[in-house]
Amino acid sequence: MDLLSIDSLTDEQIDGLLETADLFTRRGGGSTRYAGRIVFNLFYENSTRTLMSFAAAAARLGAVPLTLPVEQSSIKKGETLADTARTLNAMGPDALVMRHGEDGSVAEVAQLMDCPVLNAGDGTNEHPTQALLDALTLRQHFGRIEGLTVAICGDIRHSRVARSNRKLLERLGATVRLAGPPPLLPDDLPGGGAIDEAVRGADAVMMLRIQRERLAEELGDSPGEYLASYGLTVERLAQAAPHAVVLHPGPMNRGVEIADEIADHPRSLILRQVANGVAMRMAVLDLLLSA
């Protein structure tokens, strides 16, 4: 079994992952269950949270995480993605965690691997483990997902996080509102709107950074202008439900999509998301390694 998309999972598997990850957050400590197993990390794009939490998750399960330093690898000598995949497969890993800038590239590599492949983000397509850890964070805070209204705001067009979250949260019974600057709203994700409308009365507000590395041309807004027009400020958060919480998958650009005081606000669950990332990736690795 591979985890390429939220669509890779049945409803029962999603429920099981949320339960297992929740147990991992409360149990702490490690396990030797997967001693002797090897998890390869192949990241063609930068990462702090996803790479380190997959490595920590593998280690906490007793497996050995090994990360290919892409900048020092034979990829830089012109080796193709397919030949890199075949080369890594020949070494017999028990799982491959992969991030790449091209939509669908992780699925292509999965065709060449004999082990489970986990999508750690492919282009603008999907980032399923981020959505799963976000759902865990919301479920722990509210005790449920069903019936929640979640506003996802910012660069929706380039966001694999928004795409996976929308699929997962809607499957779990939440209402998802999308908002952002018109050039950053995609044609295939209809229903986007203004941030003030999206935030009004919402139970949770998830902010996304502008993915400048994927922009054909600059937006032209200064950071202060962006924050005033599209960012989450104290004034804007006050329009959400009184109990509303703030999420951000990271990395944050403080003072652009999120005001400094909101990032560190008591209602910010951003570091809880990071902590839950390890637990959810333990649950996901457990599911795939035990299959």
Paired sense of beta strands 175-179 and 192-193, if any: parallel
Q: Counting contacts by CB under 6 A, is residue 249 touching ligand CP?
A: yes
Cα angle vertex 200, ends 209, 170, to 5°?
70
Min CB(217)–ligand CP separation in Å: 23
What residues pair up with 119 in beta bridges, in sequence order?
A: 98
Min CB(261)–ligand CP separation in Å: 22
Min CB(52)–ligand CP separation in Å: 8
Residue (180 or 250) nearer to ligand CP, CB: 250
Min CB(49)–ligand CP separation in Å: 4
Residue (25 or 273) nearer to ligand CP, CB: 273
The full 3-state SS of 248-287, as one line of letters, equals CCCCCCECCCECHHHHCCCCECHHHHHHHHHHHHHHHHHH
Residue of 7, 27, 48, 111 interacting with ligand CP (CB under 6 A)? 48
Residue (194 or 274) nearer to ligand CP, CB: 274
E strands present in the chain: 38-43, 64-67, 95-100, 117-122, 149-153, 175-179, 192-193, 204-207, 245-247
Min CB(124)–ligand CP separation in Å: 13
Residue of 2, 250, 282, 284 interacting with ligand CP (CB under 6 A)? 250
Q: Determine the interface stretch with ligand CP among 46-54, 86-94, 148-156, 170-178 (rule: CB under 6 A).
A: 46-54
The per-type count for the chain, helices as H runs and strands as E runs, is 11, 9
Per DSSP, 126 falls in state B
Min CB(9)–ligand CP separation in Å: 18
Min CB(48)–ligand CP separation in Å: 4
Residue (71 or 187) nearer to ligand CP, CB: 71
Residue of 5, 25, 50, 268 interacting with ligand CP (CB under 6 A)? 50
Number of residues that bind ligand CP (CB under 6 A): 9
Q: Determine the interface stretch with ligand CP among 4-12, 28-36, 248-256, 262-270 (rule: CB under 6 A).
A: 248-256
Min CB(285)–ligand CP separation in Å: 16
- H runs (alpha helix) in 101-222: 105-110, 128-142, 160-171, 195-199
In whole angstroms, how far apart are CA 191 and each of 168, 188, 219, 230?
17, 10, 21, 17
Q: Which of residues 56-115 bind ligand CP (CB under 6 A)?
A: none
Closest listed residue to residue 263, CA positions, set 248, 244, 276 = 248
Site mask, ligand CP, residues 116-155, x = CB under 6 A? -----x--------x-------------------------
Closest listed residue to residue 60, CA positions, set 27, 93, 105, 16 = 27
**The tokens of 246 are what?**
């703030």
Closest listed residue to residue 149, CA positions, set 209, 197, 189 = 197
Spatial distance between the Cα atoms of 14 and 134, rounded to a whole number of angstroms: 13
Helical axes 11-27 vs 270-289, angle rounded to 10°: 120
Residue (97 or 198) nearer to ligand CP, CB: 97
Give residues in contact with ligand CP (CB under 6 A): 47-50, 121, 130, 249-251
